[in-house]
Every structure is written in structure tokens, then in C-alpha cells.
Amino acid sequence: MIISSIELREIRLPLIHFFETSFGRTTERRIVLARVIDRDGVEGWGECTAGEGPFYSDEWTDGAWSTLEKFLAPMVVGKKIEDASGTWLAMKPVRGHRMAKATIETACWDLAAKRAGVPLWQYLGGVQTEIPCGVSIGIQDSPAILIEKIERELAAGYQRIKIKIKPGWDLSIIEQVRQRFGNIRLMGDANSAYSLADTPLFQELDRFDLMMIEQPLAHDDIFDHAKLQQQIKTPVCLDESIHSAEDATHAIELGSGRIINVKLGRVGGHAEAQRVEKVCRENGIPVWCGGMLESGVGRAHNIAMATLAGFTLPGDISASARYWAEDIIEPAVTVTPRGTITAPQKPGIGYDVNLERIEELTARKEIIGRSQI
Ligand code: OSB
Ligand code: MG
């Protein structure tokens, strides 16, 4: 395929409820979307998963926008790309900036699947037609509010509850949740808020039979995580530390964790996510799909990725209505009473993009290459 233009848009999308992690609170998303159009007028959509500030990772909305506009989009426009995984090759001169790259890369996969006339999940080699879902619940103003939220999510059918933890909102919170909900699948995500000096705290957490503890230590570490894993029973799950299949290989060999969370943006798109999934599957490491408070476009890409065979644990992919008053895709993503999402049947990402809604939310727009619209 030959990409003739890439349209970048930044949309502003207010969250229904604030989302708080150990690195801060988000109330409104600033999301960069890419609409990639080929010479035949077929289009694909991708979403940048960078946050509003460089706190989860070093990428952020404005940084990703500049990188996309000045470097990445010009590297792809006008190029003949053999298949969607070749998009990565076209952008290879740029180091890092995986979330920015994934914006275009995932859009090219949507486009390629549409050209092939098949749903993206099938085009990627997915095998699961129904994917298990969990929820990620941020830090709340009180334990009572947290308990109430968990009740609501369990009633909706979600298969696993993840709660965000940070120093001061950890042991006692997990204890209260465990007391109230005896045998649910429960896990904690620290977003790098601790150090090896906190090992005794994690040893105490072992009592609560958590499915896993996600990214307890530094965002760029796999060495200390291995030391921690040796001293605790709860499986460590890596999120921030894994950017590639090579990172996954090294972490597995070091014993830095027993589970990996795969995020499309963090690893740079579908091709790299497939490589991470393969390395993990071949080494008996379960993976699950992480979330980045995505709008419908990113959510649809996550659903497609999570149909790959290695995604055996419930991921952070949940219904659009948990985040948005109105999503930017139609239909909105919904979850069955069994706590699953059914893979869509339409070609590409499998949902229609609501251009009118996107237009309303657009804060800026830039077209690189020849516009066909
Ligand atoms: O660490 O998984 C994370 C959201 C923003 C940044 C980092 C993380 C998260 C989540 C939200 O946990 C998952 C979701 O999209 O529901
Ligand atoms: Mg995480």
C-alpha cells in the first residue's frame, strides 16, 4: 500500500470520573488520533496512548504530536509499505517514541485489514473470539468509595479487580478489600512507587493471595524486580519496564517477574506486541492487555491484540461507558454479563469511527501529505 496522507488530530475528552495513580490524577484526556489514507482512499485509524504529561512514560501528548508531525508522518507519507509491519521500518531512524510510532503503525494495520476485508483481530492472527475483561480502579478519596466501586464492577461481571496502590494507600487498603471480598481475583498496580527497601511490605502483601503485583519498582528496572521476585510469593507483573520483545526476553531470563502486561503504545504497535506475545507464550509467561484510558479507537485496537493466544489473563479492557459519556466509535465497547468482550466481525478495527463526534472534540488538526478528503 502507498500512504498518501496522514491526518493528525488532538481531541479533548473529559473522563466521567477522575483516574488517579501513584503519579497523579487525570480528569480530561488529550488524545492524538491518526487517520491514515492510502492511494485508493482506504483509511485506517490509530490512537496515541501517551498521557497528558511525561509521568507514566517519557512520552506525552504535545511531545508525541511534534514527533508525529515533524518526523514520523513525513517518513511514512508517499512510501510504499509492503505490509503493516513494514511501517515500523519506515520510522526506524527515530529512536524511542514508541507511543507516537504506534499511533501510525496501528492505523496502518487497521487500513491493511480493511484492504484485506477481514477483522483486524483475524488479520493479526488472533484466535479468541471472546476476551476476558478486568477493571483498573484508581486511588479514591476513601476506602468506602473504593469498596463501593468494586461492588459495582463485580456486579457488572468483570472477572478481575485491579487497584492502584501507592505508599499510604497499600497494605491496609488491600486488607480491607480482601476482608470484604473473600475470593475475587484481585491485584495491585504500584506504577513504580516503591524501591527494594520496601521488600518487607511486599512480603506482608503475600498473605492476601493477590494474582500479581504490577510494576512495584522503578519504571526502567528489571534487575531489582528480579531480586524482589526471589523474596516474595506473589507473582510480579511488569508493565513500564517492557518496551520490546528483547526487554521481555531479558526480564524472563533474569526472573524479573512471572507475568507481563502488554500495551500497544508502550511497545510501539501491533508488530512488536505480536513479538512480545510470542516470546512470552514460548516461555510460559502469561500476558494480558494493559489499558491507557483509551478512547474507542485505542480500545478497539486493544481488543484485536488481546485475541492473540498468549493473552490468557483478563486485561484492563473495559466498557466505553466506564470512561466516556459518549465514545468516538459506534457502537460503544460493551461487556457481556460474563465479563467478556466479543471480537467484532467488521473489517479493520471492527467499529465505525464517529467523525461528527471527533470533529466536535477536535482541538487541533494537521494533514501531512496530499489530502483526499
Ligand atoms: O499502569 O496500567 C497502568 C492508566 C494510565 C496509565 C497507566 C496505567 C493505567 C491504568 C488504566 O491502569 C487502565 C485502563 O485503561 O482502564
Ligand atoms: Mg500498570
Are residues 182 and 225 both part of a single domain?
yes
Q: Tens digit of pLDDT for each residue in 74-99?
A: 999 999 888 888 999 999 999 999 99
CATH number (domain holding residue 94): 3.30.390.10
Average pLDDT (156-170) is 97
Tally of domains within the chain: 2
Buried b (16+ CB within 10 A) or exposed e, 130-158: ebbbbbbbbbbeeeeebbebbeebbebeb
Tell whether 28 is covered by a domain.
yes
Residue 331 preceded by cis peptide, ω within 30: yes
Q: 371 pLDDT band (50/70/90 cuts)?
A: low
Query: Going by CA atoms, what residue is nearest to atom 1 of ligand 1?
Result: 191
| pLDDT band of 307, cuts 50, 70, 90 | very high
**Same domain for 338 and 190:** yes
For residue 277, give the CATH number of its domain. 3.20.20.120
**Which residue has the CA at smallest separation from atom 5 of ligand 1?**
292
pLDDT for 119-154, tens place per residue?
A: 999 999 999 999 999 999 999 999 999 999 999 999
Residues 112 and 127 in one domain: no
Mean pLDDT to the nearest integer, 164-169: 97
Cell of 30: 488529550
Contacts 24+ apart (CB under 8 A), 72-76: 72/97, 72/100, 72/101, 72/103, 72/104, 73/6, 73/8, 73/34, 73/104, 73/368, 73/369, 74/368, 76/3, 76/6, 76/36, 76/104, 76/108
Residues 333 and 242 both lie in one domain: yes
What is the position in ligand 1's atom list of the atom closest to the CA of 323? 16
Do 185 and 316 fall into the same domain? yes
Residue 274, in any domain of the structure: yes
Q: Which of 133, 293, 295, 317 to mutate to test the pocket of ligand 1 (most atoms within 8 A of CB)?
A: 293
Residues 317, 363: one domain? no
317 in the same domain as 227: yes
347 lies in some domain: no
What's the chain's length in residues? Answer: 373
pLDDT band at 66 (very low <50, low <70, confident <90, very high): very high
List pocket residues of ligand 1, CB cut-off 6 Å.
21, 56, 136, 189, 191, 239, 290-293, 316, 318
State whether 58 and 197 are in the same domain: no
How many angstroms separate the alpha carbon of residue 26 from the centre of ligand 1?
A: 11
Do residue 183 and residue 269 come from a single domain? yes
Compute the distance between CA of residue 346 and CA of residue 332 in angstroms, rounded to an integer. 14
Residue 138 and residue 194 share a domain: yes
Q: Which ligand is nearest to the CA of 138?
A: 1
110 and 128: one domain?
no
Q: Kindly state whether residue 113 falls inside one of the protein's structural domains.
A: yes
DSSP E strands in 161-211: the ranges are: 161-164, 186-189
pLDDT tens track for 190-199: 999 999 999 9
What integer is the mean pLDDT of 163-168?
A: 97
DSSP state of 71: I
DSSP state of 60: B
Residue at 325 is within a domain: yes
Mean pLDDT of the chain: 97
Q: Looking at this protein, which amino acid is placed at residue 110?
A: D
The answer to whether residue 285 is domain-embedded is yes
Centre of ligand 1 to C-alpha 136, Å, is: 7
pLDDT in tens, 313-338: 999 999 999 999 999 999 999 999 99
Whether the Cβ atoms of residue 267 and residue 96 lie closer than 8 Å to each other = no
Domain span at residue 219 reads 122-342
Ligand 1 atom nearest to CA at 291: 15
Is 263 catalytic? The answer is yes
pLDDT of residue 372: 46
**Are both 103 and 137 inside the same structural domain?**
no
DSSP structure string for 344-362 = P-SSBTSSEE-HHHHHHHE
In a domain, 233, yes or no: yes
In a domain, 276, yes or no: yes
